[in-house]
Structure 1
Amino acid sequence: MTSSWTAAELETIGAAGELEIAVTRLDATLRPWTPIWVVVAGPDVFVRTWFQRETGWFGAALRSGRARVRVPGLEIDVFLAHVGSSEARSAVDDAYRAKYGSFGAASADRMCTEQAVATTLRLSPAGH
């Protein structure tokens, strides 16, 4: 059963430069931790990739739909929903540009390409 993020969790995740994700394998063990960029848009948490879409953490995430994530001050199990180019696209694009624009427009804009947008996952707590 999914639940909503608390305001404190959203603040903690939003303040983190990166989130580490360990995707749950089909045998319920965790894959190795992988650092990725993460944004908060409204009451939701989103991640994307522009690299290794079918393999690596993202391919495993699509197959599993579950992971454990951590940032300083928070470690939690989550459900992963592939939302791709949804109604939240502009808010998620804006969040990536605002949060990661200091790394250079090219880096932030890479996360807003059609290919990256197609990989958008919404993270939902797997219960508190």
Structure 2
Amino acid sequence: MNWSDDELSEIDQADDLKIAPFREDGATYGTPTWIWEVVVEGALYVRGYHGQKSRWYQAALDQKAGRIIAAGMTRTVAF
């Protein structure tokens, strides 16, 4: 997903990003999980508390899509 500079600024300032990869059925979103985020040189990066062992991270790798909820925005994304 390409975020505008304004959107990235809002997300970074709000510091309230939640991520919800699809469940195994590929259609139902998982429970939104609050995660750490940072914006670097116009790109949004996220990291789970347990790193690559995080369940949302494993689901994102498997399903390759989901949604991000942040700064009053909800966006469908590819991972």
TM-score bracket relative to the smaller structure: 0.7 to 0.9
Which residue matches 2:67? 68
Check the 8 A contact 1:21/1:68 in 2, yes or no. yes
- What is the CA–CA distance in structure 1 between the aligned matches of 2:6 and 2:32, rounded to whole Å? 23
TM-score (norm 1): 0.54
**How far off its partner does 1:55 sit?**
5.0
| 1:12 pairs with 2:10 | yes
Counting matched residue pairs gives 78
- RMSD, matched Cα: 1.7
Structure 1 moving runs of 4+ over 2 Å: 52-55
1:29-75 Cα offsets, whole Å, 9 max, x none, are 10001000111111110011241634511111111111211113211
Write the letter of the residue equivalent to 1:4. Answer: N
TM-score (norm 2): 0.83
Which residue matches 2:77? 78
Which residue matches 1:24? 22
Check the 8 A contact 2:38/2:46 in 1, yes or no. yes
3-state SS of 2:12 partner: helix
Task: Give the gaps of 5 or more residues in structure 1.
Answer: 81-128
Query: If each structure's helix is expressed as a fraction of its own residues, which one has the higher value?
Result: 1
Which residue matches 1:47? 46
**How far off its partner does 1:25 sit?**
2.2
**How far off its partner does 1:10 sit?**
0.8
Check the 8 A contact 2:21/2:67 in 1, yes or no. yes
Write the letter of the residue equivalent to 2:4. Answer: T
**How far off its partner does 1:8 sit?**
1.6
Query: If each structure's strand is expressed as a fraction of its own residues, which one has the higher value?
Result: 2
Q: What fraction of aligned residue pairs are identical, expressed as a percent?
A: 33
